[in-house]
Homo-oligomer: A and B are copies of this chain.
Amino acid sequence: MVKEKFNVAVVGATGAVGQAMISMLESRDFPTDELRLLASKRSVGKKVMYKGKELEIQEANENAFAGIDIALFSAGGSVSKALAPAAVKSGAIVVDNTSAFRMDENVPLIVPEVNIERAKDHQGIIANPNCSTIQMVVALKPIFDKWGIKRIVVSTYQAVSGSGVEAVKELQAQAQAVLDGKTDFPKEILPVGSLPKHYQIAFNAIPQIDVFEDNGFTKEEMKMVNETQKIFEDSSIEVTPTAVRIGIVNGHSEAIYVETKEAFDMKDVVASLSNFEGLQVVDNIQEQEYPLATDVDGKLDVYVGRIRKDLYNEKGINMWVVADNLLKGAAWNAVQIAEYLTKTKEVWK
């Protein structure tokens, strides 16, 4: 242990991920001395329970980080860009859950099961990858290590919780309206709050997450391409993503087709997935067992099932990968990194 206890800040403490970070810190009995909850002005004064004590939300600003050892950011990219450098300047290590610094070459992009050692290279900021990337790379890591990866084709089935608390409320309100036979009800948040058009997500599938880029892919899809290559440190991996939001509250699912570089035996593939820390194989088709979004809610690990050799490509594997996007996809991955920091002398320079 580097120190007995750490002063930890959570920036964006009132958001869906911020709240999940706080409950992760509590449920993991994280060695916090002070836990400082930061958010925008309008949340100042709100009370949050943590380890039996009532904590008051304070304003997130440049002066809010004095004495902080570890700052977990999840208040949007612009807040991270504005305040993460200040947190670093006051001596904190930042674990940033936004996309602000992920592709910055001086910022390690960390999924603990995959590349935690890279955290030692940090220069103050460590980035948490995007939720859809995290669960995919955990499932692919044992395959990457043994047989290499040439190609990935992935389609996602992403839950609404990734868009925040208000989006979940809108999903529920829309679902109730549809069940009541109404046709006119609020559509104000999804797919992207800041864009002009919004669609019904209840009982629907929207093939847009985040804004579009010039190449016709969305930013969410390009995160899956770029972050996967960065995390595996292999820019030759070809990723073809389609990111789709469906009317699910929590838990992302992904249908993944992966082509390896080297030939494999399927038994070895299943064995290496089964033996991989942080990955749970739920795959017994005779018993109709496979991971489901509703089953992984509140779970920390990544779940994989429907593991099957491709019908045509000798080096092709198909699988179904499910995880709690608020936990392993965000809050737990960040707290996992923070736990590593508490145990690793070399990161404290």
A residues in contact (CB < 8 Å) with B: 151, 153, 155, 157, 172, 175-176, 179, 191, 195-197, 199-200, 203-208, 212, 215-217, 225, 238-240, 242, 244, 246-249, 253, 255, 257, 285-288, 290, 292-294, 305-313, 316, 318, 320
User: Looking at the complex, which one of B207, B225, B294 makes contact with A320 (CB distance below 8 Å)?
Assistant: B207
Q: How far is the CB of A224 from chain B (nearest CB, A)?
A: 11
Inter-subunit contact B216/A309 (CB<8 Å): yes
Inter-subunit contact A242/B320 (CB<8 Å): yes
Chain B CB within 10 Å, residue with most, of A204, A217, A306, A308: A204
Residues of B within 8 A of A205 (CB): 157, 246, 248, 253, 292-293
Given A253-B207, A255-B207, A320-B242, A294 and B200 touching (CB < 8 A)?
yes
User: Looking at the complex, which one of B207, B239, B307, B312 makes contact with A238 (CB distance below 8 Å)?
Assistant: B312
Residues of B within 8 A of A255 (CB): 155, 207, 242, 244
Give the residue name and chain of the B residue nearest to A289 (CB): B197
Q: How far is the CB of A56 from chain B (nearest CB, A)?
A: 30
Q: How far is the CB of A247 from chain B (nearest CB, A)?
A: 6
Residues of B within 8 A of A195 (CB): 288
Residues of B within 8 A of A316 (CB): 240
Inter-subunit contact A207/B311 (CB<8 Å): no
Chain B CB within 10 Å, residue with most, of A205, A217, A285, A312: A205
* In the bound complex, CA of A292 to CA of B286 (Å): 34
Inter-subunit contact A285/B239 (CB<8 Å): no
* In the bound complex, CA of A261 to CA of B25 (Å): 53
* In the bound complex, CA of A286 to CA of B213 (Å): 10
Residues of B within 8 A of A175 (CB): 175, 179, 203
Inter-subunit contact B203/A248 (CB<8 Å): yes
Inter-subunit contact B312/A207 (CB<8 Å): no
* In the bound complex, CA of A311 to CA of B216 (Å): 10
Residues of B within 8 A of A200 (CB): 292, 294
* In the bound complex, CA of A151 to CA of B320 (Å): 20
Q: How far is the CB of A120 from chain B (nearest CB, A)?
A: 32
Chain B CB within 10 Å, residue with most, of A215, A239, A285, A307: A285
Inter-subunit contact A248/B204 (CB<8 Å): yes
Residues of B within 8 A of A294 (CB): 199-200, 203-204
* In the bound complex, CA of A255 to CA of B179 (Å): 27
Residues of B within 8 A of A257 (CB): 153, 240, 242
Inter-subunit contact B204/A292 (CB<8 Å): yes
Given A199-B292, A212-B286, A240 and B191 touching (CB < 8 A)?
no
Inter-subunit contact B248/A191 (CB<8 Å): no
Inter-subunit contact B191/A288 (CB<8 Å): yes
